[in-house]
Amino acid sequence: MFDGFIKVAAVTPDIRVADCVHNAAQICLGMDRAVEAGAKIVVFPELCLTGYTCEDLFWQDLLVEEARHVLHQVIFHSREKDGLFFVGLPWEKGGKLYNAAAAIAGGHLLGIVPKHSLPNYREFYEARHFEPGCRKVEWVDYEGCPVPFGMNQLFVCKELEGLTVAAEICEDLWVPDPPSIAHALAGATLIVNLSASDEITGKVDYRTNLVTGQSARLVCGYLYASAGEGESTTDLVFGGHSLIAENGVLLAQSRRFSNEMVCADIDIGRLRSERRKMTTFTGRGQEEYEKIAFHLEVGETRLTRWIDPAPFVPGGREDREKRCKEILMLQAMGLKKRLEHTGCQSAVVGISGGLDSTLALLVTAKAFDLLGIPREKIMAVTMPCFGTTDRTYTNACQMAETLGAALREVDIREAVSLHFRDIGHDPECHDVTYENSQARERTQVLMDIANQMGALVIGTGDMSELALGWATYNGDHMSMYGVNASVPKTLVRHLVRYYADTCGDQKLSAILLDVLDTPVSPELLPPKDGRISQKTEDLVGPYELHDFFLYYVLRFGFTPRKIFRLARIAFAGTYEDETILQWLKKFYWRFFSQQFKRSCLPDGPKVGSVAVSPRGDLRMPSDACVRLWQEDLKGLERSIRR
């Protein structure tokens, strides 16, 4: 439960049609297995106490009375169980029968939620036996105790802030206006669905899309338990296909025709973070809901969910290539509009033979193609200085020529040396002045050439560098349009790789692959034995870690403690805990101290869910205090040392 995680389970028991005693025993066994697995919210299928396929046996008083009687056994069994359980059964009220879900916790029946949408078409005829449930909550008697009955119930956990559970039943999800919409607007972060969805060809994909889509639409966790083997096969087959989704992502699903339990970890903190940013979730209709408290033991959820070490990069090759193609187009379309608006027919790109300038040049070439402007109108400028190596210089020149851009070389060694003399700087002192003087000289050259040509200077810096402030203020920090401003470093690599794989030019592909194989470096310090001596990741840390941190800091606002916990899982076997913590501390220090650079960023297109533009995603004061985050990190440091 720490850090907002809660483990949930969907259980399909082995039932017998109309054998309530047997079914109750199987449900109790399912409760035991789920609790043993660490699950705190457990859902069973629709009408599982009797079986969904009882048909006209639902008109038999004995069956309805027996279901109500054995419910007591299930409730009693929950006394020593730490969890909230939902069990399906027929429930009689006011002389009418309802298809209902019983919410159970700690030996108590917390509420009865009736099904509203009764399918009465094709193979379904529920309206023959059941009455549609009402939203308004009334109170009914169960063994001398008043129990809320109605659809508008929210089950609120007192120990985990934000864990609010609501229920709907099978067809309720398949209709145009599912009850879960109102539930979510009223505050539910986890929707449970007790279902008896039969299997027909092709239905599995539709069902999966429906559940994952609803979780995305409502920004919630969705726990779907379906009836399986044991139901009557007189006319239908039930596969026990259970699903767990979170905000559009399928976390787990059971095998069909296996009657198994499936578990997953829902990140309630992540859902709350998402909703806080959305004006859609206003708490509308809360006054129409009955809120029922339930309690859970406080403890750490043992996480079994997969944590992606590269959250900005799709894992599958097909998805990754599709994403890369889309991002390159977004970048190019952003630049295309800026060129059209300014009337510029030419552009200036400073190329170093590194990843970022390579991507910027590729994007510029694509934008010129879209506009029908010859690529020779692109001026690729290489500006060798003290740290330039033959490898990067050669790649830069050959790349420009292969792409058909104009190439211009401006050696800035003499200009920078003169600048050192003017300001009285010892050229043997390789400090920040030594480095930044080169970066600012390069920017001046680019700006002045652009003025000569009536062109735009295209920025090359990526989002990871901007997040860390790894840019020279008014040096490579500045341009007239920054095409890479919202592309993280880990994704830059894949974009260049995608271009190399799909460009159809063997020579260009070979150049790009060599660029990918070159260490990331600003090349501001003299090389050693002709090789790059200044490797960025040795100084600021691994970009794969920083991009991971950046994603969870900006996308969800997680605490350092939670990000560290996720990073330990994502990078297990790659980085030691101490290493992760070291660079996490560095990340926060740089992220807060370098905001002033991001406050005056050039324009650039947003291409993903996270960006650092001061006009969009990150409106952060430049003098914000980092103390709170550092205190959280100190607590982590103490726990690691122990």
> Mean pLDDT across the stretch 42-47?
98
Q: Indicate whether 299 belongs to any domain.
A: no
- Give the C-alpha separation, 539 to 532, whole Å: 14
Range of the domain at 58: 2-294
Q: Indicate whether 90 belongs to any domain.
A: yes
Shared domain for 589 and 542, answered yes or no, is yes
Query: Residue 638's pLDDT band (boundaries 50, 70, 90)?
Result: confident
Chain segment 179-227, per-residue pLDDT in tens: 999 999 999 999 999 999 999 999 999 999 999 999 999 999 999 999 9
Give yes or no for a contact between 16 and 231, defined as CB atoms under 8 angstroms apart.
no
Q: In this predicted structure, what is the pLDDT of residue 642?
A: 64
Give yes or no for residue 543 having a pLDDT over 80. yes
> Mean pLDDT across the stretch 539-550?
95
Q: Catalytic: 115? A: yes
Residue from 20, 28, 40, 46 carrying the catalytic annotation: 46
Show the CA angle centred on residue 542, arms to residues 537 and 546, nearest 5°: 120
> Mean pLDDT across the stretch 623-637?
92
Q: Indicate whether 566 belongs to any domain.
A: yes
Tell me the CATH number at 515.
Answer: 3.40.50.620
Domains identified in the chain, total number: 2
Residue from 7, 115, 336, 562 carrying the catalytic annotation: 115
Q: Indicate whether 307 belongs to any domain.
A: no
Give yes or no for residue 60 having a pLDDT over 90. yes
Residue from 28, 170, 324, 344 carrying the catalytic annotation: 170
Encoded tokens for 390: 């033959």
Give yes or no for a contact between 103 and 153, defined as CB atoms under 8 angstroms apart.
yes
N residues, the chain: 642
Q: Indicate whether 213 belongs to any domain.
A: yes
Chain segment 73-94, per-residue pLDDT in tens: 999 999 999 999 999 999 999 9
Shared domain for 91 and 168, answered yes or no, is yes
Phi, psi of 380 (to 5 degrees): -90, 120
**How many other C-beta atoms can be found within 10 angstroms of the C-beta atom of residue 512?**
25
Reduced 3-state DSSP string for 278-302: CCCCCCCCHHHCEEEEECCCCCCCC
Q: Indicate whether 306 belongs to any domain.
A: no
Q: What is the dihedral of CA 469, 471, 474, 476, to 10 degrees?
A: -150
Buried b (16+ CB within 10 A) or exposed e, 334-353: bbbebbeeeebebbbbbbbb
Q: Catalytic: 537? A: no
Q: Indicate whether 310 belongs to any domain.
A: no
Show the CA angle centred on residue 53, arms to residues 47 and 57, nearest 5°: 90
Shared domain for 251 and 355, answered yes or no, is no
Query: Residue 635's pLDDT band (boundaries 50, 70, 90)?
Result: confident
Tell me the CATH number at 73.
Answer: 3.60.110.10
Give yes or no for a contact between 126 and 279, defined as CB atoms under 8 angstroms apart.
no
Shared domain for 248 and 348, answered yes or no, is no
Shared domain for 362 and 464, answered yes or no, is yes
Q: What is the DSSP string of 490-543?
A: HHHHHHHHHHHHHS--HHHHHHHHHHHTSPP----S--BTTB----HHHHH--H
- Give the C-alpha separation, 343 to 454, whole Å: 9
- Give the C-alpha separation, 175 to 117, whole Å: 7
Shared domain for 113 and 209, answered yes or no, is yes
Chain segment 91-122, per-residue pLDDT in tens: 999 999 999 999 999 999 999 999 999 999 98
Give yes or no for a contact between 395 and 498, defined as CB atoms under 8 angstroms apart.
no
Chain segment 428-473, per-residue pLDDT in tens: 999 999 999 999 999 999 999 999 999 999 999 999 999 999 999 9
Per the rule left: phi > 0, alpha: psi between -120 and 50, beta: everything else, 42 is beta
Shared domain for 262 and 356, answered yes or no, is no
Shared domain for 548 and 622, answered yes or no, is yes
Give yes or no for residue 535 having a pLDDT over 80. no
Shared domain for 337 and 404, answered yes or no, is yes
**Domain-terminating residue out of 294, 309, 342:** 294
Shared domain for 111 and 164, answered yes or no, is yes
Shared domain for 260 and 340, answered yes or no, is no
Chain segment 478-496, per-residue pLDDT in tens: 999 999 999 999 999 999 9
Query: Residue 528's pLDDT band (boundaries 50, 70, 90)?
Result: confident
Per DSSP, helices labelled H in 4-120 are 20-36, 61-77
Q: Average pLDDT over the chain, rounded to whole?
A: 95
Q: Indicate whether 472 belongs to any domain.
A: yes
Q: Catalytic: 46? A: yes
Shared domain for 237 and 381, answered yes or no, is no
